[in-house]
Chains A and B, each alone.
Chain A
Amino acid sequence: QVQLQESGPGLVKASETLSLTCSVSGVSINNYYWSWIRQSAGKGLEWIGRIHISGDTNYSPSLKSRAMMSIDTSKNQFSLRVTSMTAADTAVYYCARDWSSSWGGGWLDPWGQGTLVTVSS
Chain B
Amino acid sequence: QSVLTQPPSASGTPGQRVTISCSGSSSNIGSYTVNWYQQLPGAAPKLLFYSNDKRPSGVPDRFSGSKSGTSASLAISGLQSADEADYYCAAWDDILSGPAFGGGTKLTVL
CB pair B32–A94 under 8 Å, yes or no, is no
* Given A44-B2, A44-B102, A45-B104: A109 in contact with B47 (beta carbons within 8 A): yes
CB pair A47–B50 under 8 Å, yes or no, is no
Q: Is A16 an interface residue when CB atoms closer than 8 A count as contact?
A: no
Interface hub of B2, B56, B96 (most chain A Cβ within 10 A): B96
Q: Taking CB as reference atom, which chain B residue is nearest A94?
A: B44
User: Which one of B10-18, B68-76, B87-95 is at the A interface?
Assistant: B87-95
Q: Is B46 an interface residue when CB atoms closer than 8 A count as contact?
A: yes
- Count of A-B residue pairs with CB < 8 Å: 69
Provide the residues of chain A in CB contact with B33, threshold 8 Å: 105
- A35-77 Cβ-contact flags toward B at 8 Å (1 or 0): 1010000001111011000000011110000000000000000
Q: Taking CB as reference atom, which chain A residue is nearest B50?
A: A107
Provide the residues of chain B in CB contact with A105, threshold 8 Å: 32-33, 92
Q: Taking CB as reference atom, which chain A residue is nearest B45?
A: A111
Q: Is A99 an interface residue when CB atoms closer than 8 A count as contact?
A: yes
| Interchain CA distance A77-B96 in the complex, whole Å | 25
- A68-112 Cβ-contact flags toward B at 8 Å (1 or 0): 000000000000000000000000001000011000111111111
Q: With both chains docked as a complex, state the minimum distance between the C-beta of B78 and any C-beta of chain A, in angstroms.
A: 24
| Interchain CA distance A79-B25 in the complex, whole Å | 32
| Interchain CA distance A59-B97 in the complex, whole Å | 8
Provide the residues of chain B in CB contact with A106, threshold 8 Å: 92, 99
Q: Taking CB as reference atom, which chain B residue is nearest A95?
A: B44
| Interchain CA distance A59-B98 in the complex, whole Å | 8
- B28-58 Cβ-contact flags toward A at 8 Å (1 or 0): 0000110101000001111100110000100
CB pair A44–B88 under 8 Å, yes or no, is yes
13 CB < 8 A contacts A-B: A44-B103, A45-B90, A47-B101, A50-B98, A58-B97, A99-B50, A105-B33, A107-B90, A108-B35, A109-B56, A110-B47, A111-B45, A113-B43
